């Protein structure tokens, strides 16, 4: 089970290990519970959407060729053949030289292939309508099957469902869809110095921050966090708590106890679990280098640094993408999915080659655009995280970046 102690992997190698965890099983969920979840199977349309050619505007259904060349200066004239209510299915064919009044959502009669907005017409009386615009075929018309065709894939497996995709499912008559299960994430914080949030702290004690910040990050990634409380620096206690967490979850996050030191108990506690294997101990990033990744059975178990900034950076860079991957998001590990803004670096930033540095930055503006202002501070400080609007990643091959350099700021909002 021993996977090598503190053998530092590159971020790419570490991510490759994360890809090795299989997405969770599928389950059916109602429309109200689909937001942010990934489809486990293709959704095939059972009918055309729309079912018929429909108008996008209030106006007149026409044959586009009857109005070729019509302009404000050279209007054309058609005779009104019918006035169509929205719930009427026309049983006639539009004759040449004629039009039909239609409302938004109304069904076009046979022969009509365009709609002219009422703003470009005038009713001259006695059934004659003046047209001051020449439409092209399909102008202002939702064509039958334009949104979805019966028997064809409307949404592919792996699609992360936003409100607009949920709207398409509703329009197609689906009350539920098959999606990947939400990852259940057990969170433990280790350390004799930790006390609950409600406690009055004494010198040498700190309130438990990581349980709550990691839970918030997991929830934002679409997972269901479960707090397993505080665990003292005692081998048997940690082994027991870890066993309970593994049994209760898909992913376990243990913060504290992963650094190289005399109180390093996390790796030993993981290795004491049945069917456990340490995959990595160390990833070449700062902050967050002494991260542990393990597999216990089929489940991912993490040993995160106890320092609050380190734990959150590792979670943002690797933990949250894993949770989205487990939930079926096919693009979970794609860095291009990060929300970024372009800015100029406000001052020089030094970096150690061989690791990716994630620099906390505030965002300001000057006369020429956005400025990324580095926030210096130790990895145990909360202040720099509170003030930060984003992170700037200094590549592993770089010794730093100069003031004025263009950077992509990974937004933390």
Q: Same structural domain for residues 256 and 317?
A: yes
Classify residue 310: in a domain, yes or no.
yes
CATH classification of the domain holding 72? 2.170.190.11
Beta carbons within 8 Å of 138's beta carbon, 6+ residues apart:
113, 114
Q: Same structural domain for residues 235 and 167?
A: no
Q: Same structural domain for residues 310 and 348?
A: no
Taking Cα atoms as reference points, which of 105, 104, 84, 103 lies closest to residue 94?
84
Percent of the chain at pLDDT exceeding 90? 91
Classify residue 148: in a domain, yes or no.
no
Report the number of distinct structural domains present in the chain. 4
Query: For the chain, first and last CA: distance in Å?
Result: 39
Classify residue 3: in a domain, yes or no.
no
* The pLDDT of residue 152: 98
Q: Same structural domain for residues 107 and 245?
A: no
58: region left, alpha or beta (phi > 0 left; psi from -120 to 50 alpha)? beta
Q: Same structural domain for residues 168 and 219?
A: no
Give the end of a domain, one of 317, 335, 353. Answer: 335
Give the end of a domain, one of 292, 307, 335. Answer: 335
- pLDDT mean across residues, the chain: 94
CA distance 19 to 83: 59
Q: Convert the pLDDT of each residue in 95-122 to its tens digit.
A: 999 999 999 999 999 999 999 999 999 9
* The pLDDT of residue 3: 43
CA torsion angle for 117, 121, 126, 127 (degrees, to 10)?
-30
Q: Same structural domain for residues 258 and 278?
A: yes
Assess whether pLDDT exceeds 50 at residue 365: yes
Q: Same structural domain for residues 172 and 37?
A: yes
Domain of residue 280, residue span: 11-25+181-335
Assess whether pLDDT exceeds 80 at residue 384: yes
Q: Same structural domain for residues 173 and 315?
A: no
Classify residue 32: in a domain, yes or no.
yes
Q: Convert the pLDDT of each residue in 25-43 to its tens digit.
A: 999 999 999 999 999 999 9
Neighbours of 17 (CB within 10 A): 17
Classify residue 49: in a domain, yes or no.
no
CATH classification of the domain holding 230? 3.40.980.10
Classify residue 1: in a domain, yes or no.
no
* The pLDDT of residue 376: 81
Classify residue 66: in a domain, yes or no.
yes
Give the end of a domain, one of 274, 304, 335. Answer: 335
Q: Same structural domain for residues 234 and 308?
A: yes
CA distance 323 to 330: 11
Choose between 102 and 263: higher pLDDT. Answer: 102
Contact 175, 166 (CB under 8 A): no
Record the pTM.
0.86
Residue 407: which H helix or E strand, with range? strand 406-411
Q: Same structural domain for residues 302 and 323?
A: yes
Q: Same structural domain for residues 375 and 326?
A: no
Q: Same structural domain for residues 204 and 118?
A: no
Classify residue 2: in a domain, yes or no.
no
* The pLDDT of residue 263: 47
Choose between 2 and 309: higher pLDDT. Answer: 309
Contact 359, 378 (CB under 8 A): no
């Amino acid at each position: 089970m021993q996977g090598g102690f503190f053998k530092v992997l590159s971020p790419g190698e570490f991510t490759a290990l994360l890809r090795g965890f299989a997405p969770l099983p599928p389950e059916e969920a109602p429309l109200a519970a689909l937001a942010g979840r990934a489809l486990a199977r293709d959704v095939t349309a059972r009918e055309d959407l729309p079912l018929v050619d429909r108008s996008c505007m209030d106006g007149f259904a026409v044959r586009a060729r009857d109005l070729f060349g019509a302009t404000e200066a050279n209007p054309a004239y058609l005779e009104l053949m019918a006035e169509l209510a929205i719930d009427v299915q026309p049983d006639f064919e539009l004759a040449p030289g004629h039009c039909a009044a239609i409302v938004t959502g109304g069904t076009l009669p046979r022969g009509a292939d365009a709609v002219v907005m009422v703003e470009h017409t005038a009713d001259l009386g006695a059934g004659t309508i003046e047209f001051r615009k020449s439409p092209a075929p399909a102008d202002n018309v939702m064509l039958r099957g334009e949104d979805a065709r019966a028997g064809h894939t409307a949404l592919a497996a792996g699609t992360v469902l936003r409100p607009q995709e949920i709207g398409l499912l509703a329009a197609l008559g689906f009350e539920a869809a098959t999606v990947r299960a939400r990852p259940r994430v057990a969170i433990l914080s280790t350390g004799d110095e930790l006390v609950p949030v409600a406690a009055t702290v004494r010198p040498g004690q700190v309130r438990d921050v990581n349980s709550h910040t990691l839970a918030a990050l997991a929830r934002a990634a679409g997972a269901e966090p479960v707090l397993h409380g505080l665990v003292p620096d005692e081998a048997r206690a940690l082994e027991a708590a870890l066993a309970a967490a593994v049994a209760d979850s898909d992913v376990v996050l243990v913060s504290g106890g992963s650094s190289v030191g005399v109180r390093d108990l996390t790796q030993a506690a993981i290795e004491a679990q049945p069917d456990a294997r340490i995959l990595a101990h160390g990833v070449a990033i700062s902050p967050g280098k002494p991260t542990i990744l393990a597999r216990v059975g089929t489940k991912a178990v993490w040993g995160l640094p106890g320092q609050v900034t380190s734990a959150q950076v590792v979670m943002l860079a690797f933990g949250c993408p894993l949770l989205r991957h487990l939930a079926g998001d096919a693009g979970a590990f794609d860095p291009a999915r990060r929300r970024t803004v372009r800015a100029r670096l406000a001052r020089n930033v030094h970096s150690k080659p061989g690791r990716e540095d994630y620099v906390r930055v505030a965002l300001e503006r000057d006369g020429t655009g956005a400025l990324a202002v580095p926030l210096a501070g130790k990895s145990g400080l909360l202040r720099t995280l509170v003030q930060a609007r984003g992170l700037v990643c200094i590549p592993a091959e770089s010794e730093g970046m100069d003031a004025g350099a263009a950077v992509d700021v990974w937004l933390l909002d």
